[in-house]
Chains A and B, each alone.
Chain A
Amino acid sequence: MIDRNTPPQVALIKDFTFVKAKTFDLNAPHKGFYIDATDQEIVKVELILKAGYREQKKPMQAAAVNKLLLEGTKHRSAMEIASLFEGKGAFLDTDIHADYASLVLHCLSRHLDELFPLVLEMLNDASFPEEEWLDFKQNKLNQFSIKQEKVSFLTKNAFAVNFFGKAHAYNNSLSKSDFDALSREDLLEFYEQHYVGNPITVLLSGKVKSRELDLIKQHLGGWKKPKAKNNNEGLNFNSTFQKGLELNIEKEGASQSAIRMGLPMPQKGSADFPKVFLANTLLGGFFGSRLMSNLREDKGYTYGIGSGIVNLEMAAYWFLTTEVGVEHTANSLKEIKVEMQKLNETEVEEEELQLVKSYLQGTLMRNFDGPFQAMDRFKSIHLLGLDYSYYENFVQQIKTIEAKELLAIYRQYFKFENTLKIIAGKK
């Protein structure tokens, strides 16, 4: 008979090596990085520009420009572009972020020579056809009206404006009137300023050999002379965060309420960050967290509750999100408060702390697994001006933090009474 009561003896995670991105030379000020780590004949190319929504003068401007890159150039219609990429079985996507914007190509390696120059064409010669712009606007408006019926969206959309403030560069909250205020001219202006001739960061992952690197070099070499890099001048990063603000959005007929909460946090590069990250994981960052254990696995108030930390170049914040039965709204808020207070009052037991430490190390290992994931890890440090020493320090701190230090972190950063609370549904 085998002993099923005690776990089999296994070796815990020792140090593991991070798969690191390497640099390759491009004409300055463009920058190139790559990870070669698969036998499949595939490649992912991400082109990143400092064209995030923080640069926009009007709501939705940066997102609209980014999305419409694919909808026509001076040489090709939207249909031609779609046919060229889809004909090769390739995927071309856009991505907009607070600090940057991307074009992302996934394709079989054998199609890279043909497709890469087309991607560059969109960064240089996009034409923003009137018709595509009007369709985009109408579709977004329709989607917006559907999303307005979702309690989770109502809290999400109210978050940035209440957390950062209306004039803050990171406020990306939308209202219906924003759709009329934006014109095609606004798009052209943003494109000229933040795309054409601007520095590009190229991230190449998959099977990446000298053929792929040479190809990228060759095409980016012929790029027009980049303009001076734009900086943060003229951008407003003054947060108007008010401790303890609570906002209720009544939604008639709702059977669940959405709750979203927020708190300012130290930035990723700061000394406290690894500890703050662990503190969040234990509170709400994984299935075994205090919040999941209480609100889902003990009380059954919700299908899920989670919290996380968002790292931006000029700010960082903690958020919590859940949807709970309307009859459990008040009790859910009470239990969130109970959990945060407990962590402010009592040191975490050693067993629980060890579990979270091991879980985090496993997660990091998992998140570095495969070329695309490993490149995402690089991206998340590089774009914040950090390097791999961030991860080395992170692992070191996670391994050594003690319950006493963690208590101090909760007391400094995780106070329920300080949180911004947005509740949509019925309180």
Chain B
Amino acid sequence: MRKIAIFVAVVFGVIAMPVGVTMPLHEYRLWVLQKQFYASIAATNPMDSRLISKMAHVGNFGNSNHCDYVAGQFRASKLSREDIQKAYEGVSTPSFSSDPNAPLPVEIHFTDEDIFELLPWSDWYDEHLPAVRAAKKENVYLVFGLSQMHPHFGDIRCY
């Protein structure tokens, strides 16, 4: 029994290693980006908007091999689209310390825009669908900070 347990642990450890050793770096970067992003938009979010759900992802959002990071919030507001857009105009967010793309522009996509029919936006939308659907009569949007084209350091999520 003990031998089986050791065997399973070794096999699992070796399988997990290529993914596992690099994940903490990407997760740390994402965590920093998330923190910075939430702090940046805290004062910018329109008073008449409310948080529906938070999202943060690391992966490869296009083709080829590289790591991309996104941190965002799905929010709902009764304000007009123009007023919402105006609220975030010119706003940027710091990122993790070695990010050459920083400061990142804070962007917004309304959830009825075509982009949410395309990957990976459609996947993110689907993940938060119940919360988004609950906000029927409001303008629902994703406000986010996105940093792309970073080295993958062997993380399979970025291939």
A and B: real partners? no
Give residues in B with beta carbon < 8 Å to A.
none
